[in-house]
Amino acid sequence: GQNIDQPTEMTATEGAIVQINCTYQTSGFNGLFWYQQHAGEAPTFLSYNVLDGLEEKGRFSSFLSRSKGYSYLLLKELQMKDSASYLCACETGANNLFFGTGTRLTVIP
Amino acid sequence: DADVTQTPRNRITKTGKRIMLECSQTKGHDRMYWYRQDPGLGLRLIYYSFDVKDINKGEISDGYSVSRQAQAKFSLSLESAIPNQTALYFCATSDPRGEKETQYFGPGTRLLVL
């Protein structure tokens, strides 16, 4: 079977750093996506990892360990607008994405 | 203008009615997808199409059908709506060319089946 685990909710303070973890077991794995979704809106692309290691893009970084079935999204210098759900998704083949249930992040002043 | 549009944005219907949700895109992507999102369950794939002549079932296709009328249009039909089809529906597109195949999502259709 396929499974993605990520925390349901997290809270962090404005200006701080937060790490959102994702572990996965899937049949077939090409890469891992992170999407951001504000309440009631469409998911928007944040990052994609296919090789092990850290990918940095501005305030957001994403890490992948294929051997451990593990990824994390790191958000630095948190802003209030970063309050959203963060979706971990595994690309399982032919661009089929299997999504986790998402982590709802609340940034507090 | 938005690259991926969905109509209607909100819809209320009754059990047993047939309804169609439409998706259009101006991105020129060959691949299109329909997902539904339910609280606590995440996004689940209903159907996908890699080109106009290609239709594939996703994880939860029962009770749904699709039509790819053109490269830019992909519609989802509920032949006889039931209350557990109440959900937020997203259309997405992607382009297989390039380094990574990111999916781009439309704004969603919120469907309530009474």
Question: Once rounded to an integer, what is the mean pLDDT over residues B87-98?
Answer: 89
> Assign residue A77 a region: left if phi > 0, alpha if psi is -120 to 50, beta otherwise?
left
Q: Tokens for A24, please give them.
A: 């996965």
pLDDT tens, residue by residue, B30-84: 999 999 999 888 899 999 999 999 999 998 999 999 999 999 999 999 999 999 9
| Residue-level pLDDT at A95 | 67
| Residue-level pLDDT at B107 | 96
Q: Tokens for B101, please give them.
A: 């195949």
Closest-CA residue of chain A to B87: A40
Q: Are B104 and A40 within 8 A, CB to CB?
A: no
Question: Once rounded to an integer, what is the mean pLDDT over residues A56-84?
Answer: 96
| Residue-level pLDDT at B102 | 86
Distance CA B88, CA B80 (A): 17
Contacts with B45 from chain A: Cβ below 8 Å: 96-97
Distance CA B7, CA B21 (A): 6
| Residue-level pLDDT at B2 | 64
Q: Pick the residue with more confidence: B78 or A93?
A: B78
Lowest mean pLDDT among A11-20, A79-88, B87-96: B87-96
Question: Once rounded to an integer, what is the mean pLDDT over residues B108-113?
Answer: 97
How many angstroms from the chain centroid is the CA of residue B36? Answer: 7
* HSE toward the beta carbon, residue B63, CA cutoff 13 A: 13
- Does residue B1 carry a pLDDT above 60? no
Compute the count of residue pairs across chains A and B with CB atoms less than 8 Å apart.
47
| Residue-level pLDDT at B17 | 97
| Residue-level pLDDT at B76 | 98
Q: Is the minimum CB–CB distance between A46 and chain B shorter than 8 Å? A: no
- Does residue B96 carry a pLDDT above 80? no
| Residue-level pLDDT at B99 | 62
Q: Are A43 and B43 within 8 A, CB to CB?
A: yes
| Residue-level pLDDT at A1 | 74
A7 three-class SS = coil
- Identify the bridge partners of residue B70 per DSSP, sorted by sequence position: B73
- Does residue A74 carry a pLDDT above 60? yes
Q: Are A41 and B107 within 8 A, CB to CB?
A: yes
Distance CA B63, CA A89 (A): 25
Assign A2 a pLDDT band (cuts: 50, 70, 90): confident
Closest-CA residue of chain B to A100: B42
Q: Are B94 and A94 within 8 A, CB to CB?
A: no
* Cβ atoms within 10 Å, residue A100: 21
Assign A49 a pLDDT band (cuts: 50, 70, 90): very high
